[in-house]
Amino acid sequence: MGRKEPASRSTGKALPEVDYEKLGQEAVERIASAGDLDALEALRVEFLGKQGSVSALLKTLGGLSPEERTEVGPKIHGLRESVSEALTARKAALEAGVLEARLATETIDLTLPAPEAPKGSVHPVSQVMDELAEVFADLGFAVAAGPEIEDDWHNFSALNMPESHPAREMHDTFYFGENRRAPNGGRMLLRTHTSPVQVRTMLQRGAPLRIIAPGRVYRSDSDATHTPMFHQVEGLVIDRDIHLGHLKWTLETFLKAFFEREDIVMRLRPSYFPFTEPSVEVDVGFAVESGPNGKARRVLGGGGDEPGHGWMELLGSGMVNRRVIEFAGLDPDQWQGFAFGVGVDRLAMLKYGMDDLRAFFDGDARWLRHYGFSAFDQPTLSAGVGSTVGARS
Ligand code: DAH
C-alpha cells in the first residue's frame, strides 16, 4: 500500500473555488453593523476564534503545495487583516458611543458626602497652647518666645537662683559640655523652665509688659508623671501699680475661660520661689466623680473643702522679685508686677481627660487619632475656647 498523500497536496486537484473578496466584504459589513460590544465579540469569535471561519481557512494553508500557497496565501491573509481591522474600528466606535451615552445620561450627585481624605490631627499640647493664647489675648497679653538652649545666667542667675541653688544640680538640668560656653561665659543648658523668657522679654522690650510664653522645657526626670521634655506657659505682667489682686483676678478669669466652668474655685497658699516675693501656690477645687470606666476621676469645679471635694495644686506664681526686675534692666522702684508658671501638659490632661503623660510624646499615631484635634477646630473665646470636635471625656 502506497503512502496516502494529503488530498490538497495532489497538484492535480483543483483548488476549491472561494471568493475571498466577497467573503471579506460580507464579514466587514456584518462587523460594521454590530449593534453593541457583545455582538461584536460574537463576530470576532465567529471569524477569528479558534474555531472561527477565517482561522479555518488559514489552517488549510499548511496543506497546500508551495505554488498553491503563493496564490491563495495572500488572499487569506488579506481577508484576516481586513476582518481584524474592521473589528478594531468598530470596537473603538462602539466604545466612544458608550462613553458618550454615559456622559449624556449620568449626573453627579453633589449632595453626596465626599470620600474622606486621610488627614493629620493637632496634638493636644498644640491645641491647648492655642487655647491659652486665645484666652490671654483677650486679656491683652502678647505671646513671647525664648530659646530652648539657654545659658545659666538667663535660666538661673537672673531669676535670683545663685550658683549654689539646688535646682542647678546636674540631677535636674541637662548641661552642655564645658567647651560650649555662652558669650557671657556661662554654661549652656536646656532650659529647665519658661521663666528665662521673663528676663529676655523685659530686657528686649522694657516695660510695661503683658506676655505669656508657652514652650518646651527639659529636666532630667522620667516616670509616669514626668518626662525629660515637657511644656510650660509663663505669664508676666509688669506695670507701675500691679499687685496681688491683679494676679488673683487674672488667674481666676483664665481658669474659668480655659476650663469653661464658672464654678472654678481657687485657693492661694503662701509658698517660695526665688524669682517671686511674695510667692503663692495656686490650688483649684475638684470633685471626685466616677468616670465612664467606673474609675474615680477628679473634675475641676467647686470648693475643695466641700464634702467629696479636694484641692489640687495647679501652678506657681507671685509678685516678681525686685532683684529679677533689676537683673532685667528695669528700676524696681518704678516697675512691679506678677508672674506665674504652669504645666501645659497637665492643663491638657485635666481638660481633655488623658491620664498618662508619657503617651503625649510616644508619637503613636493611634493615640493622636483618638486624642488629636481637627485643624479646623480653632479655639475662639466667643464660641467657648475649647474644642467642640476633638474633645473626649
Ligand atoms: N519656673 C517655675 C518652675 O518651673 C514655675 C513658676 C513658679 C513660674 C512661680 C513663675 C512663678 O513665673 O512666678 O517650677
Per-residue pLDDT of 8-20, as tens digits, reads: 444 545 666 788 8
At residue 242's C-alpha, the angle toward residues 239 and 246, to 5°, is: 130
With b meaning 16 or more CB within 10 Å and e meaning fewer, what string describes 36-46? eeeebeebbeb
Mean pLDDT of the region 361-382: 86
pTM: 0.70
Mean pLDDT of the region 29-45: 94
Mean pLDDT of the region 286-306: 87
**Best of 340, 346, 347 to mutate for ligand 1, by most ligand atoms within 8 A of CB?**
340
**Best of 197, 317, 319, 322 to mutate for ligand 1, by most ligand atoms within 8 A of CB?**
317
Report whether residue 318 contacts ligand 1, using a CB cutoff of 6 Å. yes
Q: From ligand 1's centre to the CA of 359, what distance in Å?
A: 25
Beta bridge partners of 110: none
For the chain, what is the largest distance between any 2 Cα atoms, rounded to a whole number of angstroms?
A: 138
Mean residue pLDDT of the chain comes to 90
Report whether residue 234 contacts ligand 1, using a CB cutoff of 6 Å. yes
What is the pLDDT confidence band of residue 1, given thresholds at 50, 70 and 90?
very low
Report whether residue 195 contacts ligand 1, using a CB cutoff of 6 Å. yes
What is the pLDDT confidence band of residue 384, given thresholds at 50, 70 and 90?
confident
- Predicted confidence at residue 15, as pLDDT, reads 66
Least confident of 36-45, 267-276, 383-392: 383-392
For atom 2 of ligand 1, the residue with the nearest CA is 341
